[in-house]
Structure 1
Amino acid sequence: MATIAEINDKLRRGKATVWTAEQVKAQVAELGVAKVAAMVDVVCTGTFEPMESSGAVINLGQTDPPIKIRQCWLDGIPAYAGFGAVDLYLGATAAADITNTGDNPNEGDGVAERGGGHIIEDLIAGKSIPLRAVGQGTDCYPRTTLETVISTDRINQFYLYNPRNLYQNFIVGVNGGDRLLYTYLGPLQPRLGNAVYSNPGAIGPLFNDPLLQAIGIGTKIFLGGGVGYIAWEGTQHFPLQKRLPNHTPIGPAATLALIGDAKQMDAHWVRGCYLKNYGPSLMLGVGVPIPVLNEQVIEQCAVKDEDIVAPVVDFSIPRRVRPTFGLVTYGQLKSGKITIEGKTVRVAPLASIARSREVAETLKAWLDAGTFALTEPVAPLPTDRMFLAQDPIGNLSI
């Protein structure tokens, strides 16, 4: 047994052994769980994938005369202004208003390619962003309009607060219909023409702590190339998802809410992106250090892509609960092809596996250099959350 305080002491003295999750998996296969647990102090995990439930809190500072902003646009992208006078929240998927001129909303030109994620990336990269705001005139806030240019050195607070990141597992998208579909997993070709998955699999953070025992609220993490923290459970947190005997879930399960100072981040790890005819999003690098408190930690970190599964979901049925073609392993997904009803289907990841590895390696380098220490969770993440759906009033039985 070890404690986080003991591991931090070893990190300070340069005596700690830090491995990436991939290194642990390879060494467990050769040496076994007990020997690896006796050797390793921290396991570094990482991912670089779309995380659209993300956004940034921005405080502009007051004008003279002061303004109480009620509407605001950053380079044409709307930011939410329903807070204090000059506090804003810019969502990663916020997009400029564009009228769809096509007959089919999935095939028209009414989807903005540039969105909040691109603005966040540009600010982190040091670029200047035009801002336009409309204020509510009051005795204490008489100004009603504002046009200016902002950058990270011309605003006060600029931090990411992401309500839902790091899905513990997710789905594999396919299209069993007759027309091309544009989805949050990207284009899905008709008649099972392709399959797309978004989780990096066994190297991802929450597959290596499936029961959320080694991390918690307050855990310090790598977020966007800077330091962040687990702030709370994420939205749609569903730890009661069905699980395999190795405790890994068979579909979407736990999620985390994350927070971190965007002024310390690096645009290499925070990238605005666009999914064709779906909309803008944000690619984000997140790394979670897992302290080796006991042998069970290593046993769980030893999980391989062949040991975890995801459901293959048919997007051609536009319902909340879509039909599935069963479960496939991440080993199969990473081979580049799966078999569905006797048909070979090509597969591609939406996550960058290479950058996911780079996140884990960068976090390992920070720990090895003594520039990053672990934190004790201030509270555990809940493990008993149900997942509730929403229905229009007309569909409810009262």
Structure 2
Amino acid sequence: MLRTVAEINEKIQQQKAVVLTVEELKARVQEVGVTQTTQEVDVITTGTFEPMESTGAIFNLGHTDPPIKIRQCWLEGVPAYAGLGAVDLYLGATVMAEYGGLGDAEESRLNTVLPERGGGHVIEDLIAGKPVQLRALGQVTDCYPRPSFETTITRDTINQFYLFNPRNLYQNFIVGVNGGDRTLYTYLGPLYPRLGNAVYSNPGAISPLFNDPQLEIIGIGTKIFLGGGIGYITWEGTQHFPLQKRLPNETPIGPAATLAVIGDAKQMTPQWVRGCYFKNYGASIMLGVGVPLPVLNEQVVAHAAIQDQDIVAPVVDFSIPRRVRPTFGLVSYAHLKSGQIKIDGQMVRTAPLASIRLSRQVALELKQWISLGQFTLTEPVAPIPGDRTFLPQDRWGSQRASE
């Protein structure tokens, strides 16, 4: 081992640590090689800014007088899950507004301003300090006699307000195309007929998990940049599939590892947490996430030196409405970022769903925090499991149908 996290943190606190963004690291390796770069650099910062559907916020409102046991609740007309404690709520980013949860005047205003409104927009508003209308219905009991409650809340008038995201940071994902004869509206946005476009969501070689392919540095307890504040990796993410097939450089050829993360939303900024809407599909949220990689040895640098031409994603045809869709093979991120790829002899325009520019800015902002001694590193308390399989549900449905 070249250095330890404790030694790196000591340098960070003294503002003596050498920190490079992952793009700077890749360029440095090209110039002087892995060994010299390892000797020079203490921390590598990675980042992404992309839609992350499995995101949500937990709130504690504080008790009313008389108390209420909330069992139905709407924030700006968006339903929040109330099956927790009496005044604890969970708001998912993809939940769409039900304007019956608002008064007539507020419903009219929101329909005028933004008809396609979901949980991600409400989370963004609260992070920005904006007021949010709350309407709640309660289960009347002896200790919670209040049947309903209406108020306006902000991030400063509630207790806990934090993001808890069951699945962020896909290690890799797919490229969506449409071989059919009509436009398809998907979680990648519109896919135009007859291979009219190709959309990819991962920012490629700057994305966090591509640069630690076997999750040897990243683990449970790793401190991260989350939405402009500080967050932590809490567990494997849902649909975590580390057993995905991999190239010789250990990077996966399709969707693989994912992470669950948490962070205090009161520290976050709307620059890095933005509600969004996909036409004819639904609401989501754009989230900036950055992960620091401590340079403990040469292997860390060697993994982080991968380039876009070294990693691939599968091209998937969404015109086939099945769980397992046909593919047109694998394509490198270098080709994807060139603006066009060739499919069956046809040149197809490409576009990223992630913002490459803002992904770079996440890595740069995290670099600045570390360089100024404002962000130290943590060692994982446990590894992310590397043996998870992916279980589909169709086989159980088929079995029940035949009985």
TM range (shorter): over 0.9
For the residue of structure 2 that corresponds to 1:396, the secondary structure is helix
**Are 1:227 and 2:220 matched, yes or no?**
no
Tell me which residue corresponds to 1:351. 354
Which amino acid in 2 is paired with 1:62?
H
Runs of 4+ with >4 A deviation: none
Aligned length: 387
Corresponding residue to 1:130 among 129, 133, 155? 133
Is the CA contact (8 Å cut-off) linking 2:77 and 2:99 kept in structure 1? Answer: no
Tell me which residue corresponds to 1:105. none
Tell me which residue corresponds to 2:111. none
Partners in 2 of 1:226 and 1:310 — Cα distance?
Answer: 30
For the residue of structure 1 that corresponds to 2:383, the secondary structure is coil
Partners in 2 of 1:311 and 1:263 — Cα distance?
Answer: 38
For the residue of structure 1 that corresponds to 2:182, the secondary structure is coil
Partners in 2 of 1:275 and 1:147 — Cα distance?
Answer: 30
1:6 positional shift = 0.6
**Are 1:78 and 2:79 matched, yes or no?**
yes
For the residue of structure 2 that corresponds to 1:153, the secondary structure is coil
Structure 2 unaligned residues grouped into runs of 5+: 101-113
Listed as ranges, the matches of 1:205-284 within 5 Å are: 205-284=208-287
For the residue of structure 1 that corresponds to 2:231, the secondary structure is strand
Partners in 2 of 1:268 and 1:15 — Cα distance?
Answer: 29
Go from structure 1 to structure 2 and tell me whether the alpha carbon gap of 1:70 and 1:391 turns closer, same or farther (over 3 Å shift): same
**Are 1:314 and 2:338 matched, yes or no?**
no
Tell me which residue corresponds to 1:30. 31
1:391 positional shift = 2.3
Partners in 2 of 1:128 and 1:29 — Cα distance?
Answer: 50
Is the CA contact (8 Å cut-off) linking 2:60 and 2:89 kept in structure 1? Answer: yes
Tell me which residue corresponds to 2:160. 157
Structure 1 unaligned residues grouped into runs of 5+: 100-110
1:97 positional shift = 3.8
Is the CA contact (8 Å cut-off) linking 1:55 and 1:91 kept in structure 2? Answer: yes
1:392 positional shift = 7.0
Tell me which residue corresponds to 2:368. 365
For the residue of structure 1 that corresponds to 2:219, the secondary structure is coil
Partners in 2 of 1:97 and 1:76 — Cα distance?
Answer: 5
For the residue of structure 1 that corresponds to 2:35, the secondary structure is helix
Partners in 2 of 1:219 and 1:6 — Cα distance?
Answer: 16
Q: What's the CA shift string for 1:61-90, capped at 9, x where partnerless?
A: 000000000000001000000000000000
Tell me which residue corresponds to 2:20. 19
1:96 positional shift = 2.0
Which amino acid in 1 is paired with 2:47?
G
Partners in 1 of 2:8 and 2:397 — Cα distance?
Answer: 56
Q: Over aligned residue pairs, what C-alpha RMSD do you find? A: 1.3
Which amino acid in 2 is paired with 1:205?
P
Is the CA contact (8 Å cut-off) linking 1:124 and 1:262 kept in structure 2? Answer: yes
Is the CA contact (8 Å cut-off) linking 2:94 and 2:282 kept in structure 1? Answer: yes
Is the CA contact (8 Å cut-off) linking 2:244 and 2:253 kept in structure 1? Answer: yes
1:185 positional shift = 0.0
Q: What's the CA shift string for 1:277-330, capped at 9, x where partnerless?
A: 100100000000000111000000000000000000000001000000000000
1:181 positional shift = 0.2
1:393 positional shift = 4.5
1:29 positional shift = 0.8
Is the CA contact (8 Å cut-off) linking 2:52 and 2:284 kept in structure 1? Answer: yes
Which amino acid in 1 is paired with 2:165?
N
Partners in 1 of 2:5 and 2:291 — Cα distance?
Answer: 14
Partners in 1 of 2:36 and 2:395 — Cα distance?
Answer: 55
Is the CA contact (8 Å cut-off) linking 2:178 and 2:195 kept in structure 1? Answer: yes
* Aligned-pair identity (%): 73
Partners in 2 of 1:348 and 1:391 — Cα distance?
Answer: 32
Partners in 2 of 1:73 and 1:179 — Cα distance?
Answer: 36
Corresponding residue to 2:377 among 357, 369, 374? 374
Is the CA contact (8 Å cut-off) linking 1:95 and 1:112 kept in structure 2? Answer: no
**Are 1:203 and 2:206 matched, yes or no?**
yes
Is the CA contact (8 Å cut-off) linking 1:18 and 1:42 kept in structure 2? Answer: yes
Go from structure 1 to structure 2 and tell me whether the alpha carbon gap of 1:17 and 1:238 turns closer, same or farther (over 3 Å shift): same
Corresponding residue to 2:190 among 187, 202, 209? 187
Partners in 1 of 2:379 and 2:145 — Cα distance?
Answer: 47
Partners in 2 of 1:96 and 1:42 — Cα distance?
Answer: 42
Which amino acid in 2 is paired with 1:184?
Y
For the residue of structure 1 that corresponds to 2:382, the secondary structure is coil
For the residue of structure 2 that corresponds to 1:32, the secondary structure is helix
Corresponding residue to 1:387 among 368, 379, 390? 390
**Are 1:287 and 2:323 matched, yes or no?**
no
TM-score using structure 1 length: 0.96
Q: What's the CA shift string for 1:166-204, capped at 9, x where partnerless?
A: 000000000000000000000000000000000000000
